[in-house]
A and B are shown apart, each in its own frame.
Chain A
Amino acid sequence: MLDPHPLRTDALVAPAALTRRHDLLAGAMAMVPWLTGIVPFGLVIGVRAAQADIPTFAGWLTGPLLFGGSAQIAVIDLLDAGAAPAIVIGAALAINLRYVLYSAKMAPHWRGMSRWWQAAAASVMVDPSVAVGVAGYERHADERRAHRHYFGGAALLWVAWMTAIAIGATAGASVPEALHLELVIPLFLVGEVAARLTTRAALHAALTAAAVGALGVAVPLHLGPMLAVAAGVAAGLHADGGWHR
């Protein structure tokens, strides 16, 4: 019997499947350096959720629903302190306001994809997945490959993050303090910034954000990161030719 699809042989199909797998794996591998700092952070959030005067499951739910360590810590801390719901929600949104810029950054790449696809991609949009994703879009001319790179990294991040929070919440796991793994994240963030300072405007923006971010730790309601982003963007736009260029 004749093959109705004579060209569709394993030899021709396999490379496409291999490429897909390779792209997903490459994204996951690019996420691995982040995990060394993120997993201990997740454990700490889990432990904090278990200790706080709220249902432990509510603390764990901050993982899938908020999916951002700083905002999760703020929500758990403020709920534990008995803050008003509006304050808790406002603090979380203030910390996560930078996602608007991430959303704008990804929009040109995700244009044309289905709403469900965009919703799924946006739901795992956070600092590490954006960093890994942007690197993928810079590397691949074929955006389909970059999409897989993004999801490969984001999927590993999601699984690792939820697992770490769950272990922290249930087992109270601890990491040897001597390793100072809590410093992996700042170092990684600094490395990503330093590698991107290719223009005078970017340098102005980053230095301003760093200065405001450092001073902003004294600002109540965890508003420091939001102020740092606003000040950094303003400085960058100003150095880049003004607001109305």
Chain B
Amino acid sequence: MSPFLVVALAGAGSFLLRISMLVVAARTGVPAIVERAATFAVPVSFAGLAAGALATRAADLGLGALPAFVGVAVGIAAVRRTGSARSAILVGMPTIWVLSALTP
């Protein structure tokens, strides 16, 4: 099968996933269980993706990934203290730069 066709089919399937609940909601309303599950959509998706990225980094770099983990921990503390999601980057990235410069 042509790579173009594979990409097109994967794209079409992804679009169907994106509109799935919009279509369902228009006809019957979103099922209650899905509506409740959707309240967790952002936290679980983002937590899973972030943890996967960090785990991949740890697998690739070993102890070299330590600055990233410290930066994330400091970033979480900053968010919990300030209530602003952006402070994770504002505090976490400088932490990672300093630690990366200090570690061999």
Which A residues are closer than 8 A to B by beta carbons?
33, 36, 54-55, 58, 61-62, 64-68, 70-71, 75, 79, 85, 88-89, 92-93, 96-108, 110-111, 118-119, 122-123, 125, 127, 130-131, 134, 178-180, 183-197, 201-202, 205-217, 224-225, 228-229, 232-233, 236-237, 240, 243, 245
Contact assessment for A193 and B35 in the assembled complex, using a CB-CB cutoff below 8 Å? no
Contact assessment for A104 and B9 in the assembled complex, using a CB-CB cutoff below 8 Å? no
Which B residues are closer than 8 A to A by beta carbons?
1, 3-15, 17-22, 24-26, 30, 33-56, 59, 67-68, 71-72, 75-76, 79-80, 83-89, 92-93, 96-97, 100
CB within 8 A of A189: which of B15, B41, B46?
Answer: B46
A73 to chain B, nearest CB (A): 11
B39: chain A residues within 8 A (beta carbon): 105, 202, 236
A107-B30, A210-B50, A213-B49 known; A190-B88 Cβ under 8 A: yes
Contact assessment for B92 and A187 in the assembled complex, using a CB-CB cutoff below 8 Å? yes
A102-B18, A213-B50 known; A191-B88 Cβ under 8 A: yes
CA distance A215 to B48 in the complex (A): 10
> Can you list 26 residue pairs at the A/B interface with Cβ under 8 Å?
A62-B7, A70-B49, A85-B6, A96-B18, A101-B41, A102-B41, A103-B18, A105-B42, A107-B22, A178-B97, A186-B50, A186-B54, A187-B93, A188-B88, A189-B50, A205-B47, A216-B48, A217-B52, A228-B47, A228-B48, A228-B51, A229-B41, A229-B44, A229-B48, A232-B47, A236-B43
Chain A CB within 10 Å, residue with most, of B48, B72, B100:
B48
B86: chain A residues within 8 A (beta carbon): 33, 191
B54: chain A residues within 8 A (beta carbon): 186, 214
A207: chain B residues within 8 A (beta carbon): 47
CA distance A54 to B3 in the complex (A): 7
CA distance A196 to B43 in the complex (A): 7
CB within 8 A of B37: which of A188, A214, A233?
Answer: A233
Contact assessment for B34 and A104 in the assembled complex, using a CB-CB cutoff below 8 Å? yes
B81 to chain A, nearest CB (A): 10
B83: chain A residues within 8 A (beta carbon): 195
Question: Contacts A79-B7, A98-B44, A127-B45 given; 18 further ones with Cβ under 8 A?
Answer: A79-B6, A85-B5, A96-B13, A104-B30, A107-B22, A108-B25, A127-B49, A188-B89, A189-B46, A190-B76, A191-B75, A191-B84, A202-B40, A202-B43, A207-B47, A211-B51, A214-B54, A228-B45
